[in-house]
Chain A
Amino acid sequence: MAVNKIDGVRTVGGGKYDKLVIDGVITVNGDLEAESISVDGVVTINGKLESDSFIKISGVATVNDKLRAKSIDVDGVVSIKKDVEADEIMIHGVVTAKGQVSADRVESRGMFSAEEVVGDKVIIHCDKKNKATLGGLFRLGRDLHKELPKVGTIEATEIDVDGIRVDNVNGHNIVIGPRCVVENVDCTGRLAIAPEAVVKNVNGQAFGK
């Protein structure tokens, strides 16, 4: 399969490719679709970014529309203005999504903020190690709760969160870790809430962690 590379400092139009590597400082005006996509450098896409296989983002990317792939792996810093759809999403870097993030499995070990995260299994852990590596985003002396990344709603069959603020957590089996601030929890199966977590309203039976 041919590898298409967009690099340097330039503005290009959208299009369809086989295998695509984007590097450098690039602005893409239009929708970009490829069999697989690897993004590095600093990239702004004024359109959709779509792949039937995988998208790997290691640099700094702004997607001003939808992001869709079978598998999405984020190691860098990504901002998405609309929905994100995938079978599997893995986040080690920083992701901000303005729309709905939907996947069978969403796992974040980095910094993940979103309007809505839905799927089958959602794991969001913002741990101390990541905080230390993300340029001191969390500084000593500040209110921890205000520093936590925020998600509006999480809805999934299985949910496991820690180090995050959430308005609504709705799911079947839910685990809420110690460094969480949650407004509303609605659980239809097993619910475990760490004693240190701040949870305001619970609809369901907590089993303890």
Chain B
Amino acid sequence: MNLISKKDLLAVTGISYGQLYRWKRQRLIPEEWFIKKAAYTGQETFFPRESILSRVETILQLKDTYSMEQLAEMFSKGSEKGPGLSPEELATIEEIPFEWRDCLPQLMKRDAITWDDVIAAVFVAGCAGLTEEEKKDLLDRMPYPIPAGDSGSIALMKMDGKYHVFILKVNGMVGLALSNGIEVEPKPWSGIADPLRMKYKEMFKGGL
């Protein structure tokens, strides 16, 4: 897993210790992202690089528009049991290919599309080197409900000539070993989710 130290995080993003810990208390940054490792001074804290940088940027961009409670709810959005996205909302998400937008519930065999489904579909849409049929096959076999969360990751894997989507509840490949020759490059869930939350923040207005 590609990590960034706490000190480097503060230097790169310009946030303070106070902000970092306040956001942790406010559940804007998941506790699991604080990874303690032994260091010569005792212990040092690291973070999954892509997830934390994306999250800090999202918070900095949205903090003047939303309250911290709204942001915390926004970041937890995805696995809610609500009615899902309306067809009108789905139609505005540019990251989903135009030809999928009207029929995404059918492609993913869902009654309604949740934010987690959107994130998974955006991931599949962005997989390079796959044919349209292979992508639609991945959508068709996408697990329901999607067991991800902001601490998780999603990966594409090719096995016996067929592509599969891997969804992990943890960041990276922690606790998972694969046979030699199988290559998997997991992408942090929040790395896909946070830019979408930021771009489509209007969808969250009034609904939180």
Contacts and interface: CB of A to CB of B under 8 A. Distances in A.
B42 A118 contact: no
A104 interface: yes
A153 B16 CA distance: 17
B42 A167 contact: yes
B17 A119 contact: yes
B10 interface: yes
Interface residues of B, number: 14
30 contacts: A85-B25, A102-B25, A104-B18, A104-B22, A118-B17, A118-B21, A119-B17, A119-B18, A119-B22, A120-B17, A120-B22, A121-B18, A153-B42, A153-B43, A155-B17, A156-B18, A156-B21, A157-B16, A167-B41, A167-B42, A168-B42, A170-B17, A171-B17, A172-B17, A183-B41, A183-B42, A186-B7, A188-B10, A188-B11, A201-B41
A11 interface: no
A53 to B, nearest CB: 16
A157 B18 contact: yes
Interface string A142-185: 00000000001101110000000001101110000000000110
B110 interface: no
B41 A168 contact: yes
Interface in B70-92: none
B205 interface: no
Contacts of B17: 118-120, 155-157, 170-172
Interface string B131-159: 00000000000000000000000000000
B24 A102 contact: yes
A157 B41 CA distance: 20
Contacts of B18: 104, 119-121, 156-157
Interface in B1-45: 7, 10-11, 16-19, 21-22, 24-25, 41-43
A102 B29 CA distance: 14
Interface of A: 85, 102, 104, 118-121, 152-153, 155-157, 167-168, 170-172, 183-184, 186, 188, 201
Contacts of A156: 17-18, 21
Nearest to A68: B25
Contacts of A172: 16-17
A57 to B, nearest CB: 20
B42 A120 contact: no
Contacts of A121: 18
Contacts of A184: 41-42
User: 10 closest A-B pairs (Cβ-Cβ)?
Assistant: A120-B18, A157-B18, A157-B16, A118-B21, A184-B41, A157-B17, A102-B21, A156-B17, A155-B17, A85-B25
